[in-house]
Chains A and B, each alone.
Chain A
Amino acid sequence: MGAELSKAVVDGILTGGVYALMAAGLTLIFGVMEIINIAQGIFVVLGAYLSYLLEVHLGIDPFLGLVITMPLMFGVGVLIEWGFVRPLEAQNRSALSILVTFAVAIVIEGILTQLFSADLKTLTAWYVDRSVHVLGFYLPYIYLLGFALAVVLLVALYLFLYRSRGGKSIRASVQNRVGAELVGININRVSALTFGIGAAVTAAGGMVFGATNSFNPNSGYDLISRLLVIIVLGGLGSIGGALVASVVALVIEDVTAVLWSPVWASTMFFAVLVVVLLVRPNGLFGRVAARAQ
């Protein structure tokens, strides 16, 4: 049981990195724009399909393909923000965004179904099926690479937010949207930039998801609830929080599945979430009144 438990912890940490990639965009978008992007699940799936297209038709390795898929997803994010989110009235934006992004998800799902049918796909590469044997554990390369990618991208995102003028604009908007506008920051462009970055990071999460799971256009629905819970636990708007919460969530679930039952894995995680929110209502890394205006 000890070895099995250790394996569950290691698996939880590695898988948590993959979920952090998927959740980072969601928390960033909420942090800046105060909108709940229900389309995040389908963004993950769209990222997986883009990698699949490059792999099958051009023979491009999924990781190398990120050079193409991430800018593409950035463009998709910007277009969706411009076309569907920006027109929403500011006073009802949070509530309406749920409906609008849900509609966006359905439209994207419909297009993907027309293009690819409902058949399940998966990404293939040499590192998907192979693992390295370390200290008695078989560690799959895809999870190791996925975790490394998560760390690299989240650090890059952190550096962008804290070391660049664009990042400062975004952070200013997070802290005080009206104040940022008053000092000359164009909130619309910050929002478009944020949505684009969120979608671009999600492309990476989608690629790793597609290499570790079978997916079809419908696969996003099982993801979105878990991603939402992760960003609540981590603290809405916190990139680091998303990483920590992803790892915590997956470790709790994996350990529960080993010690008790997979049926109770999600329940146990929600129980921990409730306890955390009772002690820290803004999540693990959420800031109190950060958005007070």
Chain B
Amino acid sequence: MTAPRTGPGISVEGVWKKFRRGERHDSLRDLLPSLARRFARGRGDPAALEARDFWALRDVSFEIRPGQALGIIGHNGAGKSTLLKLITRIMRPTLGRCEVRGRVGALIELAAGFHPDLTGRENVFLQGAIMGMPAVAIRSRFDQIVEFAGVADFIDTPVKRYSSGMNARLGFAIAAHLEPEVLIIDEVLSVGDMAFQERAFGRMREIAQSGIPVAVVSHQLDRISALSTHAMLLRRGEVVAIGTPGECITQYVSGELGQTDAATTVVPGLAVTTLAAEGNGPVRSGERRALTLRGRYDPEQAGSRRLAFMVRVRRMDTGQVIFTTTTHRHGLHLTRPGSFVVRFDLQFNVPEGVMSVETGIIDADTERLMGEGPWAHLEVSPGQPFKGMVQLNPELSLGPDL
């Protein structure tokens, strides 16, 4: 942390950020006494929390140097976006210090500066200027930007006539043609259709690998691991782990995600506590992994309804549900009161990637979903070589035709 601070980079040192729940001041009537108090007591201790205050970030420190790309992962509300807002100077830390050296290119709100009444061309120059690109630089890359966005035919049409996809593509194209010294990316990896997403991702990787310092936030873990050299896991504003992307993603997937709130009562008479995977670490493609769901059942409260459990497996990178089944399709029913364990032993005949294993309670007779249960993340590591969506376990033979 005491490394010489020269050249582009991001340093964050002991950063704390305090937010307040609810309205700041509901009216002028609340404001005046609080101002008076501030005058009487001075600034007050910034480290003290008042009634509705909470720490959105607690003692976060890290350093990103040229050639490093830090992936920041964590649940919603873990403080990822707040951290990026501090880095991009939109907000200021309550305590600690946040420093960015070099011209920042932020792929955050790509079309924030667009005005619907202006044409695509006008908006390119406006948005470029907002992102700190001089008009000369925009002019020299204008054709590339328009080509990348694929809106050449509509460039002199007001953007209010654009589809939302065109809007987002143009925004991304402008941002992607900045030449930043420091790059910050927040959840913009899912812009446009699949083909554009791939192109956008390729472009982003190109910039990230050009050796500039990069900070990236995304829920698409595979994208994080492809873009980053390092990763940081945040939980409720605190740094839980900092290290290689693999380590952090594994910890996030195995530890973090299964632990949803304990004992949630989904349906009257039925409480589910945990969903846990048997065994640690990633499962190899083609191998089996069992997950157990625990809970308590009280038939008196549940009434005459027959309840069943559902399991659903979703690919995290695409969001696609690749498998779903229920206990009652397998002839299993809850009958006895008290604690129960449901065991799903699944064979992951899928290519590598991160899976989200989600559970739910359904009405066995109508198959209607009564409520969502806990969910867990599972990383599938490369196993048998195959390409595509699913392993069909081929048996092949090759011989003479008799």
Interaction A to B: no
List residues of chain A with CB under 8 Å of any chain B CB: none
List residues of chain B with CB under 8 Å of any chain A CB: none
